Each structure stands twice: as C-alpha cells, then as structure tokens.
C-alpha cells in the first residue's frame, strides 16, 4: 500500500497540533518544514510526533557545505525520524548528513531530493535529475523526493532508484494525477499531500478520503 505523508505547512502552532491530532488515524507520516518550525520552534517536530504517533520527517532541504549540513542535521534529528536534503550540492554534502544519521542509536532516514514538482524545476534541476537519482542509489539513501506533477519523470526516477522508497509531492493543490501516480508507486512509497488536506474545511475527512483511496 502506498503511504500518505501530510505536509504540515501551517504557520499557526495551535492549528498545526489540532490538525495533526485530527488526521492522525488516516496518515502514515508527517512532513514538517520551515513554515511551521520558523513560526514556532524546532521542538514542534517532537510534539507533532507525540500527538500523531507517526513518523515525522524534517523537510529542511539541506543545501550547504558538509559541515553546515552536519550541524543542521544533528539538531533536526533530535526530534525528527528523518531529514530531507538536496543532492545537487554533491556527494560530500549528502554523506555528511548520512554520517549524522548513522551516529544516532535509532534508525533515522536521510531523504534526497531529485527533481522537484514545480515548473521552475525544469530550468536547472530536471536536466541533472537522473544523475541525482543515480547518486541517491549509489549512496543508498533512505528515500528520494520525485514529482507527482510529472508522472513520466516520476517513473524514470523510480526505475533508476529501484528499491529506494520514493516520496512524491504534487497531488491536490499542484494538480498531479493521482491515478497515474498510483500506477507507478509501490508498497513502500509515499504520496505527500499538504494544502488539499490542511486547507480543507474538514482536514480529517479529507485525509480519510486519501486513506480509503490508497487502500482500494
């Protein structure tokens, strides 16, 4: 079964906790990024984990030299079960994050971005995305991010990374075609959905809709 990761990009801490609690029966994981952390504090990641009981991934899209990536990852992984980093900075910047993850006693995921879902990704990122996917495979990262907005690219990247789980944003607000995406994704993969759930009138109901859809 393809899993559902909620992108909790709300900037009101109280509302974030509320939504997290309401949708928790219907989701498999939560992705917390700059909008929520910068409007509250890093510890919110731990609170979201406590409230949902689900895996929480820090989406900080690390894009720096190894030593700075290392510092940010060390802080984020105190609370998060995983962290998202960019690959275009090169192998050493990703390896630095993997090194931090390995030092934690428990399993922490390092997830690498390949191609992004927005139009601007065509400009610079897409031309190198296959190479990034090959690097992700070589480094044996724990997941890659690839776009639901371009199913043919999602398929190519999935074929390159093989058994590495794919986490795919672009369903809902960005207009990705869920049926096509579900034809490509497999058991250990995730769709990432944000606004379509947290901006809906009834987030729990919307999350439940995805919950059933992924099980059909």
Both tokens assigned to 133: 């996917």
Tokens of 54: 């689900």
Residue closer to ligand BMP by CB (options 77, 192) is 192
The DSSP secondary structure of 94-140, one letter per residue, reads HHHHHHHHHHSSS--EEEEE-S-SSGGGGTTTHHHHHHHHHHHHHHT
The pair of structure tokens assigned to 129 is 């995305």
**Interaction residues for ligand BMP, span 129-188 (CB under 6 A):** 145, 147, 169, 172-174
Minimum distance from residue 178 beta carbon to ligand BMP (Å): 12
- Residues annotated catalytic, as ranges: 61
To ligand BMP, the closest distance from the beta carbon of 187 in angstroms equals: 21
**80 is an interface residue for ligand BMP by CB under 6 A:** no
Q: Give yes or no for a contact between 42 and 79, defined as CB atoms under 8 angstroms apart.
A: yes
Footprint (CB under 6 A) of ligand BMP, residues 20-39: 33
Which of 166, 108, 109, 83 minimizes the C-alpha distance to 132?
166
192 binding ligand BMP? (CB under 6 A) = yes
- Does residue 9 touch ligand BMP according to CB under 6 A? yes
Q: Which of 77, 184, 193, 214 binds ligand BMP (CB under 6 A)?
A: 193
57 within 8 A of 85, measured Cβ to Cβ: no
At closest approach, how far in Å is the CB of 197 from ligand BMP?
8
22-30, 67-75, 151-159, 191-199 -> range binding ligand BMP (CB under 6 A): 191-199
Among 69, 93, 117, 156, binds ligand BMP (CB under 6 A): 117
Q: How far is the C-alpha of 60 from the C-alpha of 13, rounded, in Å?
A: 18
Instruction: Please enumerate in sequence order all residues whose Cβ is within 8 A of that of 10, keeping only pairs 6 or more positions apart, or say none.
Output: 16, 19, 35, 36, 198
Q: Which stretch binds ligand BMP (CB under 6 A): 101-109, 156-164, 193-201, 206-214?
A: 193-201
Q: Given the rule CB under 6 A, which residues bind ligand BMP? A: 7, 9, 33, 59, 116-117, 145, 147, 169, 172-174, 192-196
């Amino acid at each position: 079964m393809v899993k559902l990761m909620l992108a909790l990009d709300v900037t009101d801490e109280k509302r974030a906790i509320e939504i997290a609690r309401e949708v928790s029966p219907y989701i498999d994981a939560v992705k917390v990024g700059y909008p929520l952390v910068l409007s509250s504090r890093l510890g919110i990641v731990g609170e979201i984990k406590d409230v949902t009981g689900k895996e929480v991934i820090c989406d900080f899209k690390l894009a720096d030299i190894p030593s700075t990536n290392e510092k940010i990852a060390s802080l984020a992984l105190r609370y998060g079960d995983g962290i998202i980093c960019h690959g275009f900075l090169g192998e050493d910047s990703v390896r630095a994050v993997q090194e931090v993850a390995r030092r934690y006693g428990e399993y922490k995921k390092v997830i690498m971005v390949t191609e992004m879902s927005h139009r601007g990704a065509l400009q610079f990122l897409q031309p190198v995305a296959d190479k990034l996917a090959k690097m992700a495979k070589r480094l044996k990262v724990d997941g890659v991010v690839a776009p639901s907005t371009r199913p043919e690219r999602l398929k190519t990247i999935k074929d390159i990374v093989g058994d590495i789980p794919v986490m795919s944003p672009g369903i809902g607000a960005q207009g990705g075609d869920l049926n096509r995406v579900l034809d490509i994704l497999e058991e250990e993969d995730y769709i990432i959905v944000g606004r379509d759930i947290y901006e809906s009138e009834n987030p729990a109901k919307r999350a439940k809709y995805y919950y059933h859809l992924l099980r059909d």
